[in-house]
Chains A and B, each alone.
Chain A
Amino acid sequence: MGDVKGTEENLTVSKLRERFPDAAFSTRSFCNETTLLVGSGDLIRFCRYLREDPGLLYDFLSDLTAVDRFGDHPRFEVVYHLYSLQYKSRIRLKIRVDEGEAVPSVTAVWGTANWHEREVFDMFGICFDTHPDLRRILMPEGWEGFPLRKDYPVQASPRWWEEGTAGG
């Protein structure tokens, strides 16, 4: 069964290379999972193609999140997990962005990206261009800082203790 899945995913990569000969992207395979690292300028056309090509049909955006590679440049990775309901295959798409850079929003391709992108914005401070409603989603509106960044402390910072505003 692993072989079948392998050919399926390689098919995605070869189709992309065929369709976008000018685009630079790299692929990586690990534990039977394929990762595509694409440039953020190519993201939207790649996503549209992956979703709409009748041989691929990645119509289900399973998940969208980010990783903070603190110390690296660019700093963040935004990760998209796509799934094809028809072909039962998965693929991971990744773009790398630096602090302050905005990422194109994929809400026009998959409606479900709306809340996912809000969560990434809330937790990492990554902005999404053309997102219809980019607000904090988990933290209160006036919250300072982005909790899932690596330089954000796991425990309450000492400053809050000094101010005596830690509260119950």
Chain B
Amino acid sequence: MAEQRTMTINMGPQHPSTHGVLRLVLELDGEIVIRCTPHIGYLHTGMEKIAESKRYQQVIPVTDRMDYLAPLSNNLAYVLAVEKLLGIEVPPRAQVIRVMLTELTRIGSHLVWLGTHAIDIGAMSMFLYTFREREAILDMYEQVSGARMMSSYFRIGGLFADLPEGFERTVQSFITSFPNRLAEYEDLLTNNPIWIERTRGVGVIKPNEAVDLGLSGPSLRACGVAWDIRKSNPYSGYEQFHFEMSRGSHGDVYDRYLCRLFEMRQSVAIVRQALENLPDGPVVVADPKLIPPPKPRVKQSMEALIHHFLLWSQGFTVPTGEVYQSVESPRGEYGVYLVSDGSNQPYRVHFRAPSFVNLQSLPRMVEGRLVADLVAIIGSIDIVLGEVDR
């Protein structure tokens, strides 16, 4: 009889399913994973450190670069935290536009997840379809902000600019066609026997374990724990929108897949409500200490020019104190802990990144399963390494 031995191998950072910057040290008994140790930090760019040397407005582009698949969710959490410290509330139109765009962001992020998750498991065509739809969302980013990915569209006190001419029509046509596209994805995967075989009962995590490990977002809801920050601690006027919370019951890869598909449909519903009830009015607060004068004024008035210059060179000060603000990002609880010492730069910013916390559950989910399941499980956690490493 052959002697039984385990083998230790590296999976990643080059393996495609580890998204290039995650290294997993696996101890294998044949094809079975005995132990899995994630190594992160390959993408660490010190964003929290950088934020301490920037003025409050300058941190917004830094937040974009953390979760680069959902930049607007990050923007939102950060600007809400600063606005909480300042004690201001943005005008209703800005709030509704923020909600609309973060929900489109959720759809865009889930589309990337679906495409890459499917390609990891071996369903190639899905990737092409989801990226076709994501393109439409990136076009919308470009229309509102000029940038396709790192849009930094939300600003402290409101928005960078009002929606461009005809933007509502673009969104309307997207949410009219998108549900049919979703139905096509479902046709391809949901009842596909190979897909079910690869995902059902794989990477199971129990509800109490998930809470103990701090899982949030679709990964937590797939276990049957009903927690969505948009419902439990609403921000930006989410309490005015009607939508349902996704729920699973098995906590496996398949349920996480169903939860995210469900969330995309709910996001479409929220975007539709936002379009129908888009109020008129300003998109920034009327506070000259925070908002620079409009550009035409700057070109005519010396006072306006000086004021503009001061705001962009010195920024504004924020009262001393500390706040924690979290939003429901596509991956879960995205929190910003902000400490102010009363100056024009944050004293300390900490980003509670859902991917970082969710990734910690990986060993719990994979130990005892096959290497092939590991690929499905990583995809189902929906990690973004830019956010894990920050």
Q: Which residues of A contact B (CB under 8 A)?
A: 30-31, 33, 35, 59-63, 65, 67-68, 79, 81, 85, 88, 90, 92, 110-112, 114-116, 119, 123, 136-140, 147-148, 152, 154
How many A-B Cβ pairs are below 8 Å?
87
* 18 A-B residue pairings within 8 Å (CB atoms): A31-B85, A33-B324, A59-B211, A62-B333, A63-B337, A65-B352, A79-B337, A85-B225, A111-B213, A111-B214, A112-B212, A112-B360, A119-B356, A139-B41, A139-B44, A147-B49, A148-B48, A154-B53
**Besides A33-B324, A138-B390, A152-B49, 14 new A-B residue pairs in contact (Cβ under 8 A), listed by A number:** A30-B323, A35-B322, A60-B214, A62-B214, A65-B337, A65-B352, A88-B232, A90-B233, A92-B322, A111-B212, A115-B356, A115-B360, A140-B41, A147-B46
Query: How many interface residues does B have (CB within 8 Å)?
Result: 39
What distance in Å separates the Cβ of B78 from its nearest Cβ neighbour in chain A? 15
Contact with A along B18-45 (1 / 0, CB 8 A): 0000000000000000000000110010
Chain B residues positioned under 8 Å from A63 (CB to CB):
324, 335, 337, 350, 352
Pick from B44, B87, B214, B339: contact of A31, CB under 8 Å = B87
Chain B residues positioned under 8 Å from A68 (CB to CB):
348
Q: How far is the CA of A59 from the CA of B225 in the complex (A)?
A: 12
Pick from A85, A92, A112: contact of B213, CB under 8 Å = A112
Q: A138–B50 contact, CB under 8 A?
A: no
Q: Given that A79-B337, A154-B52 are contacting pairs, would A30 and B321 also be in contact in the complex, using a CB cutoff of 8 Å? A: yes
What distance in Å separates the Cβ of B355 from its nearest Cβ neighbour in chain A? 11
What distance in Å separates the Cβ of B334 from its nearest Cβ neighbour in chain A? 11
What distance in Å separates the Cβ of B160 from its nearest Cβ neighbour in chain A? 25
Interface of A is mostly: mixed
Q: How far is the CA of A59 from the CA of B227 in the complex (A)?
A: 13
What distance in Å separates the Cβ of A64 from its nearest Cβ neighbour in chain B? 9
Q: Is B199 an interface residue (CB 8 A)?
A: no
Most chain B C-beta atoms within 10 Å of own C-beta, residue among A65, A92, A140, A152: A65
Q: How far is the CA of A152 from the CA of B40 in the complex (A)?
A: 22
**Closest chain A residue to B212 by CB distance?**
A111
Chain A residues positioned under 8 Å from B84 (CB to CB):
31
Q: B357–A112 contact, CB under 8 A?
A: yes
Q: How far is the CA of A136 from the CA of B389 in the complex (A)?
A: 12
Q: How far is the CA of A13 from the CA of B378 in the complex (A)?
A: 40
**Which residues of B, 225-256, contact A by the 8 Å Cβ criterion?**
225, 227, 232-233
Q: How far is the CA of A66 from the CA of B50 in the complex (A)?
A: 16
Chain B residues positioned under 8 Å from A148 (CB to CB):
48-49
**Closest chain A residue to B326 by CB distance?**
A62
What distance in Å separates the Cβ of B23 from its nearest Cβ neighbour in chain A? 12
Q: B335–A81 contact, CB under 8 A?
A: yes
What distance in Å separates the Cβ of A66 from its nearest Cβ neighbour in chain B? 8
Q: A31–B49 contact, CB under 8 A?
A: no
Q: B352–A137 contact, CB under 8 A?
A: no
Q: Given that A81-B337, A138-B40, A154-B52 are contacting pairs, would A115 and B323 also be in contact in the complex, using a CB cutoff of 8 Å? A: no
Q: A67–B347 contact, CB under 8 A?
A: yes
Chain A residues positioned under 8 Å from B211 (CB to CB):
59-60, 85
Q: How far is the CA of A47 from the CA of B13 in the complex (A)?
A: 37
Chain B residues positioned under 8 Å from A152 (CB to CB):
49
What distance in Å separates the Cβ of B298 from its nearest Cβ neighbour in chain A? 31
**Closest chain A residue to B86 by CB distance?**
A31
Q: A90–B40 contact, CB under 8 A?
A: no
Chain B residues positioned under 8 Å from A119 (CB to CB):
356
What distance in Å separates the Cβ of B205 from its nearest Cβ neighbour in chain A? 12
Q: B227–A85 contact, CB under 8 A?
A: yes
What distance in Å separates the Cβ of A61 from its nearest Cβ neighbour in chain B? 6
What distance in Å separates the Cβ of B142 from its nearest Cβ neighbour in chain A? 32
Q: Shortest 4 CB-CB distances between A and B: which pairs?
A: A112-B214, A138-B41, A63-B352, A65-B350
Q: How far is the CA of A136 from the CA of B49 in the complex (A)?
A: 17
Q: How far is the CA of A148 from the CA of B50 in the complex (A)?
A: 10
Chain A residues positioned under 8 Å from B212 (CB to CB):
59, 110-112
Q: How far is the CA of A107 from the CA of B227 in the complex (A)?
A: 23
